[in-house]
Amino acid sequence: MKSIKYILAGILFGIVMIKSEAVSWFRIYEMFRFQSFQMYGIIGTAVVLGAISVFLIKKMKWKDASHLPIVFKDKERPYTKYLIGGTIFGLGWALTGACPGPMFVNLGYGYLTMAIVIIGALLGTYLYGLIKDKLPH
């Protein structure tokens, strides 16, 4: 039963995504046209509050629910994969208006056509795994 909390967190995430309108294709388009502050405000607030929280967790050496130290993994270098992968991701994000989370939230909201985007995302993930070793990282 302890796993039910993850479902509840996911439900909260889905509601937040809808009520913030971050799942909206229109909002993503507006963001990339620099015609509204909304999305920048959401991400900006999250990053500032998130950075303060992470700083405090590290500084105060807070423990998690099972009394284990909270560790933050550093992302490995070099930067090539982040730039190329990120750019490919951005192309898809602006086309579908949906990053991975919002795809599923939209599906639940009733946008059944999002299933095609999800199938695409699974195919894309599979394709990456298939040709990973041939790509520059």
Minimum Å distance from CB 92 to another protein? Answer: 3
Minimum Å distance from CB 126 to another protein? Answer: 5
Examine residue 33 and tell whether it contacts another protein (CB under 8 A).
Answer: yes
**What whole-number distance in Å separates Cα of residue 96 and Cα of residue 121?**
11
Q: Which of 1, 19, 60, 134 binds another protein (CB under 8 A)?
A: 19
Q: Which of 1, 3, 60, 61 binds another protein (CB under 8 A)?
A: 3
Residues 97-116 that bind another protein (CB under 8 A): 97-101, 103-114, 116
Give the contact letters, 43-82, x = binds to another protein (CB under 8 A), - = no. Answer: xxxxx-xxx-xx--x------xxx-x-x-xxxxxx-x-xx
Closest CA to 57 of 44, 70, 48: 70
Minimum Å distance from CB 125 to another protein? Answer: 4
**What whole-number distance in Å separates Cα of residue 91 and Cα of residue 16?**
24
- Count of chain residues binding another protein (CB under 8 A): 112
Long-range contacts of 92-101 (CB under 8 A, 24+ apart): 92/124, 93/28, 94/28, 94/29, 94/32, 96/25, 97/24, 97/25, 97/26, 97/27, 97/28, 97/29, 98/23, 98/25, 98/28, 101/13, 101/17
Examine residue 1 and tell whether it contacts another protein (CB under 8 A).
Answer: no
